[in-house]
Amino acid sequence: MGELQQPIFHMPSLHVLLFSLSRLGLAAALGAIMGYQRESVHSTAGLRTHILVCLGAAFFVLASVEAGQTSADVSRVIQGIVAGIGFLGAGTILKVGDRLEVHGLTTAASVWLTAAIGTGAGLGHIWLPTVGAVIGWIVLGPIGRIEKGPPAKKG
Note the pLDDT tens digit of each residue in 63-99. 999 888 999 999 999 999 999 998 888 877 776 667 7
DSSP 7: -
Asked whether residue 8 is assigned to any structural domain, the reply reads no
| Residue 3's pLDDT band (cuts 50, 70, 90) | low
Question: What does residue 68 show for φ and ψ, rounded to 5 degrees?
Answer: 85, 20
Query: Does a structural domain hold residue 2?
Result: no
pTM (two decimals): 0.83
Indicate the pLDDT class of residue 21, thresholds 50, 70 and 90: very high
93 located within any domain: yes
Is a pLDDT exceeding 70 seen at residue 61? yes
Structural domain contains residue 141? yes
125 inside domain:
yes
Check residues 57 and 103 and name the one with the higher pLDDT: 57
At 30, is the pLDDT very low, low, confident or very high (cuts 50, 70, 90)?
Answer: very high
Which helix (H) or strand (E) is 103 found in, with range? strand 102-103
All residues at 6 or more sequence positions from 132 whose CB lies less than 8 Å from its CB, including other chains: 30, 113, 116, 117, 120
Domain carrying residue 86: 17-145
- Which pLDDT belongs to residue 13? 87
DSSP state of 152: P
Instruction: Tell me the per-residue pLDDT of 93-152, one tens digit each, with 9 for 90 and over.
Output: 776 667 767 778 888 899 999 999 999 999 999 999 999 999 999 999 888 778 777 766
Give the total number of structural domains in the chain: 1
Q: What pLDDT, on the 0 to 100 scale, is given for residue 80?
A: 94
Q: How far is the CA of 116 from the CAs of 92, 93, 122, in angstroms?
A: 18, 19, 10
Residue 153 domain-assigned? no
| Mean of pLDDT values over 25-30 | 96
